[in-house]
Amino acid sequence: MASNANKRSRKKRRVEPQDEPEFQVAPMIDVLLVLTLFFMSITSTELLKKEKNITLPDANHAKKQNQNEKRGQIIINVSWNHNNNTAGFSIDGKPYADAVSLQSYLQPRASDPRTYALIRADKDVQYSNISDVMAACAASGLSKVSFAVITSGNQQHHGAQPAPAPAPGP
């Protein structure tokens, strides 16, 4: 009986709210601002890794990369300069003089077994330049190498086989 008396006294002590509760807009704006800044910083980091002047080769039977495998990914950009017919190498926007100089960046990171190289080579880059990048990866101890390509649907995929060597020029 004592418990019933306690319940009744609690019901009597409750004060009914006079006004409807208000929705607080300021905290929602704060959260929205933080999320916007977070996604902007992630997007700009990803854009630094990919050069816009590279036209990826077409591969109809490329395998799409698993999104979970992006951890440990090192994107190596290999661009082609049509003016002087030379290849340019860069990682995270930092240019390197040649493929051999990439080893200074790759070697310290190769000890992690999840690390792999994603080569984003322009479709006009000569095979010898791509071979030099793969040799630099091997010399650094990085055994996993993948290639970025575009399929006919204009979607970027990773894991395609390297393009055949171009025919020797005149």
Q: Tell me what pLDDT residue 12 has.
A: 60
CATH of domain 67-158: 3.30.420.270
What global pTM score does this model have? 0.60
pLDDT tens, position by position, 110-166: 888 888 898 988 989 999 999 999 999 999 999 888 888 887 655 444 454 333 334
Tell me the C-alpha distance between 48 and 99, whole Å: 19
CA angle, residues 46, 49, 54, in degrees to nearest 5: 120
Strand 145-150 with 156-158, pairing? antiparallel
If phi > 0 it is left, if psi is from -120 to 50 it is alpha, else beta; for residue 141 that is left
The structural domains of the chain, with segments of one domain joined by +, span 67-158
